[in-house]
C-alpha cells in the first residue's frame, strides 16, 4: 500500500507565500536601510569634507570653544571654525541650539580632531539607538521579534545617525523612563535629563508628568529629574560662567520662532499670518490641554507604559518647532504597536511610509521643504491611530505583565487552578 504523507506536512498556501514574501520585503528594506546608514557614517569618517557638513559639526565646534574658554554659542568664531573644516562658506553657520546643560555632553568632543570626534559621536549614537530598541522591546514584550528590525529602517532614526543629531539621546532617555518608572522611579526621573536636550518636543508630556507626580506624590521621579539637571548646570557654570547669558543672546539673535522650521506649528502660523509668532504656540497649547484631559480621564488607572505612546505622539505633533530628526523619539510609540499580531497592511504601510521619506531625503529633498517634512509627524500620528484600531491588543495586555503574571494567565486560560 502506498504510504500516506506524514500528518504534520501541509501544502504551502497562498497565505504562507504572502507571509514569506512580506518577511523578505521587510528584511530587504531593513538591509538596504542599514547599508545606506553605514555608508553615510563611513563617508563622514573617511571623507575630509563630509564630516564638516553634518549637524554633528555644531556640537564639535561648541566643545572646541569650551575647551579654549570661548563662547560656545558665538556665531562669528564658530562660523570661522566650521569653514576651516569644510563647511560651505555660502551657508549660515550651524550653531548649537541646545540649552547650556547639554554642553556637558559635547565638551569632551573639543579635545579631539573632527574625524576622531565624529567617530566617537557616531559610536555613541549607534549605542543609544541599539539600547533604546532593546529597552522598548523589554518593556513591551518585543524581545526577539522581527519587528525590531524595522527600527533600523525608521527614516527619522536613519537621518539622525547620518547627521549626528542629538535627538537619539532624548529617545534613550524616554525609553529608560518608560522601562524604569514602575520599578526604579528615581532612575526613571534621572533619565529625563536626556529628554531635556529637546524640551520643545516634550511639553504636553512634561505637563502631564508633573501633574501626575504631584497628584500621586511621586517625589522620587521629580527629585531624580532635578538632581542631574542641577548638577549639569553647576558643571557648566564652572566651565563657562556666562553660558546662559551667551545662550539667550544667541537665541534672541537667531529669532527661531520667525524662521521656517518644517513642523505643523510653523505651517499654522504661515497659513494664517506669517508675522504672528504667537500662532506658532497654539498647537502646543491645544496639545497640553488635551494631555491634561487625557490624564483626568485615565488617571485612576494610569500606566506610563500604556499611555506614553499616544502622549509623546501628540507632544511632537504639536511642538512649537521640531525638526524631522526629532521624530526618532517616536520609536517609543510606534515600535510597541508592531509587536502585536498585526496585519500585513500595517507592516507594509509602515515600511512604505518610512522608505519613501528616507529616499526623499537621500535624493535631495531639503529638510526645509514645505511639501514633506512638516507633515511627517501628522502621518505617523494617523498611522498609529489607524493601526491601533485595526490591530488587536496583546491578549490580556500581556505586554505590561511581568513573567510570573504571564505564566499565571496561561495556566488560568488552560483551566488550571492557580493558588497564591
User: Taking 70 as the threshold, does the pLDDT of residue 83 lie above it?
Assistant: yes
Identify the pLDDT of residue 220. 96
Bigger pLDDT: 250 or 366? 250
Q: What is the pLDDT of residues 325-338, one digit of tens each?
A: 999 999 999 999 98
Give percent above pLDDT 70 in the chain: 79
pLDDT band at 36 (very low <50, low <70, confident <90, very high): low
Residue ranges of alpha helices (H) inside 47-180 are 56-67, 75-84, 103-106, 114-140, 155-163, 167-180
From the list 139, 150, 164, the residue with the least C-alpha distance to 355 is 150
| Rounded Cα distance, 263 and 362, in Å | 20
CA 31-40-53 angle, 5° bins: 155
State the average pLDDT over residues 177-195: 96
Identify the pLDDT of residue 346. 84
3-state secondary structure of 197: coil
User: Taking 70 as the threshold, does the pLDDT of residue 9 lie above it?
Assistant: no
Given phi > 0 = left and psi -120 to 50 = alpha, else beta, which region is 17?
Answer: alpha
Identify the pLDDT of residue 5. 53
Residue ranges of alpha helices (H) inside 183-218 are 185-195, 203-216
From the list 283, 305, 303, 297, the residue with the least C-alpha distance to 203 is 283
> Are 366 and 178 a contacting pair, CB within 8 Å?
no
| Rounded Cα distance, 183 and 132, in Å | 18
| Rounded Cα distance, 337 and 334, in Å | 5
Supply 343's cell numbers: 496585519
Identify the pLDDT of residue 204. 97
Identify the pLDDT of residue 29. 66
Identify the pLDDT of residue 415. 44
What separation in angstroms does the CA of 300 have from each of 174, 207, 215, 292, 349?
22, 17, 11, 13, 35
Lowest mean pLDDT among 47-51, 356-360, 398-402: 398-402
> What pTM did the predictor assign?
0.85
Tell me how crowded residue 298 is: count the other CB atoms within 10 A of its CB. 12
CA 185-191-195 angle, 5° bins: 130
State the average pLDDT over residues 74-100: 89
Residues in the chain: 420
3-state secondary structure of 138: helix
Amino acid at each position: 500500500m502506498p504510504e500516506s504523507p506524514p500528518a504534520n506536512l501541509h501544502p504551502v498556501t497562498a497565505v504562507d507565500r504572502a507571509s514569506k514574501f512580506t518577511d523578505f520585503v521587510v528584511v530587504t528594506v531593513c538591509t538596504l536601510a542599514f547599508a545606506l546608514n553605514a555608508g553615510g557614517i563611513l563617508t563622514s569618517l573617511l571623507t575630509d569634507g563630509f564630516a564638516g557638513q553634518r549637524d554633528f559639526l555644531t556640537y564639535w565646534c561648541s566643545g572646541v570653544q569650551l575647551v579654549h574658554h570661548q563662547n560656545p554659542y558665538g556665531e562669528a568664531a564658530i562660523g570661522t571654525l566650521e569653514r576651516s573644516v569644510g563647511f560651505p562658506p555660502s551657508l549660515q553657520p550651524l550653531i548649537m541650539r541646545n540649552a547650556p546643560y547639554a554642553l556637558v555632553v559635547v565638551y569632551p568632543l573639543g579635545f579631539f580632531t573632527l574625524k576622531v570626534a565624529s567617530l566617537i559621536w557616531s559610536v555613541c549614537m549607534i549605542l543609544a539607538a541599539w539600547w533604546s530598541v532593546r529597552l522598548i522591546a523589554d518593556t513591551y514584550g518585543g524581545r526577539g521579534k522581527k519587528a525590531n528590525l524595522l527600527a533600523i529602517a525608521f527614516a527619522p532614526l536613519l537621518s539622525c545617525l547620518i547627521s549626528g543629531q542629538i535627538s537619539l539621546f532624548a529617545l534613550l532617555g524616554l525609553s529608560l523612563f518608560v522601562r524604569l518608572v514602575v520599578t526604579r522611579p528615581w532612575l526613571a526621573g534621572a533619565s529625563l535629563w536626556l529628554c531635556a536636550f529637546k524640551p520643545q518636543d516634550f511639553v504636553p508630556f512634561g505637563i502631564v508628568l508633573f501633574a501626575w507626580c504631584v497628584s500621586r506624590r511621586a517625589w522620587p521621579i521629580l527629585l531624580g529629574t532635578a538632581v542631574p539637571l542641577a548638577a549639569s548646570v553647576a558643571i557648566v557654570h564652572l566651565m563657562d560662567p556666562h553660558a546662559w547669558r551667551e545662550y539667550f543672546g544667541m537665541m534672541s539673535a537667531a529669532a527661531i520662532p520667525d524662521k521656517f522650521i518644517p513642523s505643523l506649528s510653523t505651517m499654522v502660523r504661515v497659513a494664517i499670518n506669517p508675522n504672528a509668532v504667537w500662532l506658532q504656540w497654539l498647537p502646543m497649547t491645544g496639545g497640553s490641554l488635551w494631555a491634561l484631559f487625557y490624564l483626568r480621564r485615565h488617571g485612576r488607572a494610569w500606566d506610563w507604559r500604556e499611555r506614553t505612546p499616544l502622549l509623546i505622539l501628540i507632544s511632537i505633533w504639536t511642538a512649537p518647532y521640531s525638526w524631522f530628526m526629532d521624530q526618532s523619539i517616536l520609536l517609543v510609540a510606534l515600535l510597541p504597536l508592531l509587536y502585536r499580531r498585526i496585519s500585513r497592511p500595517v507592516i507594509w504601510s509602515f515600511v512604505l511610509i518610512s522608505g519613501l521619506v528616507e529616499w526623499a531625503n537621500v535624493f535631495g529633498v531639503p529638510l526645509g521643504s514645505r511639501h514633506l517634512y512638516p507633515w511627517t509627524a501628522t502621518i505617523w500620528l494617523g498611522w498609529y491611530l489607524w493601526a491601533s484600531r485595526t490591530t488587536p491588543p496583546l491578549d490580556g495586555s500581556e505586554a505590561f505583565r511581568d513573567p510570573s503574571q504571564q505564566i499565571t494567565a496561561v495556566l488560568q486560560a488552560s483551566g488550571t487552578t492557580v493558588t497564591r
